[in-house]
Structure 1
Amino acid sequence: MDAATPPFEIFLAALPGFEPLLAEEARAVGLPGVQEVPGGVTCTGGWPDVWRANLALRGASRVLVRIGGFRAFHLAQLDKRARRFPWGDVLRPGATVRVEATCRRSKIYHAGAATQRIVRALVETLGAREAEEGEAAIRLLARIEDDLVTFSLDTSGEPLHRRGHKVAVNKAPLRETMAAMFLRDCGYDGAEPVLDPMCGSGTFVIEAAEIAAGLMPGRSRAFAFEDFAGFDAGAWGAMKAGVSPRAPVQRFYGSDRDAGAIRMSRDNAERAGVAEFCTFACHPVSDLAPPEGAPGLVMVNPPYGARIGGNRNLLFGLYAALGGVLKERFGGWRVGLVTSDAGLAKATGLPFAAPGPEIPHGGIKVRLWKTGALG
């Protein structure tokens, strides 16, 4: 596993609806050959590109690499060819693996039986060990479609929204990957202040501060690729060390009526290394006031009733109050609002453009509603 390895296909998984934004981000960090596909983005590169994608991308859910494949028309052929596959090029002897097979339009139609054959090949040729339920392991994905077997490895391990900083969370937390894509969709590039008047555990505020400070999202966590065969720890360390953070000139603001949420936000910002750039305060929306300085972006994910917040009818007053405060006091600021309910968004009275695509979030679909600079 080195820079001289021939280029291979890299798949950057994303929530449906985020593909264009992730493609834009992937190009911005210098990944080659970026193409949008359903469910994510593909590019072609080598292992350093895989490392960079895991380290630097804020919107990807996982990074997968295609390591090869072959045709197989029956289970005996799958067994034989899986035993000849060069597993040792990417997996270490004795590796703990979890095989996940899918079959579609193929003569091999039983995914469970296919999984058993591939696991047996790994155990008997590489000395690998099949992971037990709930055990950490390297994920090998086998897709059998039109009799073509394709193997991919999950290079991320834990999902990429788990940055390693947000330990304390409130109800129905927004994933960091979602927050990053919504910020990007609002045109945020780190050069302006961001304020969240219902900050919960601080996700929008912390994500914005990290972007402004040039902090890589994957800086504090481990990745599955570190356990692959031939992993170059020195080159990986040099890549991480080559990123230079900076001190933002602007600040980032979060408020919430729940004192517990403010404590969580402060603790999470401290772990993320951005506490010195962030201000959190406990007060209701009615006490909201713009900070001194140039206007920026109000980013908010209010309760929508579908998951938290209780009776939907009671939320109309909350949204109307939020909209009234923003229209009255936040001239020059832009607004991004995430909700599952178009009626609640419209209750703010804010001049929203047409909403963005539906994005799955914990069993429901949410959309981003955004304005230009308020008058």
Structure 2
Amino acid sequence: MPETFFLVAAPGLDETLAAEARAAGFNGVTLVPGGVEVAGGWPEIWRANLMLRTATRVLARVAEFRAMHLAQLDKRARKVDWASVLRPDVPVRVEATCRKSKIYHAKAATQRIERAIAETLGAPIAADAAIVVKARIEDDLCTISLDSSGESLHKRGHKTFTGKAPMRETHAAAILRMLGFDGTQAVVDPMCGSGTFVIEAAEMAAGLLPGRERDFAFQKLAAFDAQAFDKMKTTPQPEAQLRFFGSDRDQGAIQGATANARRAGVADWCRFTRSPVSELTPPDSVAPGIVVINPPWGARIGDRKMLFALYGALGQVLAQRFQGWTIGLVSPDAGLVKATGLTLSATEPAIDLGGTRVTLWRGVPG
């Protein structure tokens, strides 16, 4: 039984992930390089995969020992109780990294650990195996973890339609949290694309668990209890409230976002309409909430020089029609943000979005 596990966060989102984990009732939540360390065994690992919206993946730590050379690594890897965590009938692959250690050859380290698993447990080794054993050797300390998630946790299983430069669900959830969204406010996205912000906000308001319909790697591990895990999936079913709105000038995006919302089970919470930014107005019968926008940056979509007019028009509409709303704008380009004419402050730290360091700009038009 692991005593601690590790939540992997996208760069810039580790503090947001730690706050989410604490709010969800996890214990021993500690910020560490690259993510968040949490106290708990398998049930808490299953729960983290199932319910945390801002985590990229969950690593279960199963062993830790010193290894100064490959022979020592081989000997101590064979003493790990692999049978308590892995099944002999399920293929496994090993990924090793070495840093500041006497063992510096990652491929050789990988081979030694693979051999230890194969010869002590009998589990087959396969390059395409879904079960991944991760070994990190740093300062001669070898930490062995299991990737309990499998596919990245941003893959909720609902978004089969994606537009240009799509926003990952984990990033969208984190940005919403950074804007103060708690499930009670209205959310508007005037450049919604595949609808990620709107759908993620609706799921949060509805109390739907992000991992409710997908599979995880831990379901193929030795300690998995299917009955106990199924009990974790019970969620309330509140009455739908139409508070989440997306618009886009592309009709294909509107159709795709609508279908994504239907698959996610939040179609009655959301409305998507084809509309240019110039026609954007606050939805009827809702109090001022949050406007969140991931506009073109020039580096991904569009010519930067042509985008100044778009940002200017967007800023004018927000200033005139959305007074009292919290505005969140995602962009790596301070010059384009300035062109909105809005008073927006940079939220730190920057966020890694598809390899680009972007900033969440926040403000409230007066």
TM-score normalized with structure 2 length? 0.97
SS of corresponding position for 1:226: helix
Partner residue, 1:128: 123
Which of 280, 297, 306 aligns to 1:304? It is 297
Number of the residue aligned with 2:18: 23
SS at match of 2:346: coil
Task: Mark the runs of 5 or more structure 1 residues left unpaired by the alignment.
Answer: none
- Tell me the residue number matched to 2:320: 328
Deviates more, 1:230-239 or 1:75-84: 75-84
Aligned structure 1 segments of 4 or more residues deviating by more than 6 angstroms:
none
Q: 2:251 aligns with which of 259, 262, 266?
A: 259
The correspondence for 2:109, drawn from 86, 91, 114, is 114
Q: Which residue of structure 2 lines up, in the alignment, with residue 102 of structure 1?
A: 97
Match of 1:313 among 302, 305, 326: 305
Which residue among 182, 188, 195 is the counterpart of 1:202?
Answer: 195
Matched, 1:170 2:163: yes
CA distance in 2: counterparts of 1:104 and 1:111, whole angstroms: 9
Which secondary structure state, in structure 2, belongs to the residue aligned with residue 348 of structure 1?
coil
Letter in 2 for 1:81: R
- Give the deviation of 1:143 after TM superposition: 1.1
Q: Is the 8 A contact 1:95 1:127 kept in 2?
A: no
Q: How much identity, in percent, do the aligned residues show?
A: 61
Count of matched residue pairs: 365
For structure 2, the residue ranges without an aligned partner over 5 or more in a row are: none
Task: Return the letter of the residue paired with 1:156.
Answer: S
CA distance in 1, matches of 2:21, 2:178: 14
Partner of 1:54: 49
Q: CA RMSD in A?
A: 1.2
C-alpha distance in 1 between matches for 2:44 and 2:106: 31
Distance 1:43 1:146 in 2: 22
Secondary structure in 2 matching 1:215 = coil
Measured in 1, the distance between the counterparts of 2:72 and 2:326 equals 59
Residues of 2 paired with 1:157 and 1:352: CA distance? 38
Q: Deviations over 1:189-218 (max 9, x none)?
A: 010110000000000000000010000111
Q: CA deviation at 1:116?
A: 0.6
| 1:66-105 CA distance string (max 9 Å, x none) | 1012222221222122222210010011321110111122
Write out per-residue CA displacement over residues 101-152 of structure 1, whole angstroms, 9 at most, x where no aligned residue.
Answer: 11122221111111011111111111112223xx242111111122222101
Q: Secondary structure at the match of 2:119?
A: helix
Alignment partner of 2:164: what SS?
coil
Q: Which has the larger displacement, 138-147 or 348-357?
A: 348-357
8 Å contact from structure 1 (residues 356, 369) kept in 2: no
CA contact 1:94–1:126 (8 Å) conserved in 2: no
Deviation at 1:248, TM superposition (A): 4.3
State which of 227, 235, 238 in structure 2 corresponds to 1:246: 238
**In the alignment, is residue 289 of structure 1 matched against residue 289 of structure 2?**
no
Q: CA–CA distance in 1 between the matches of 2:240 and 2:231?
A: 24
Residues 212 and 248 in structure 1, CA contact (< 8 A), matched pair in contact too: no
1:177 deviation in Å?
A: 0.4
Q: Is the 8 A contact 2:166 2:193 kept in 1?
A: yes
**Equivalent in 256, 266, 270 of residue 262 of structure 2:** 270
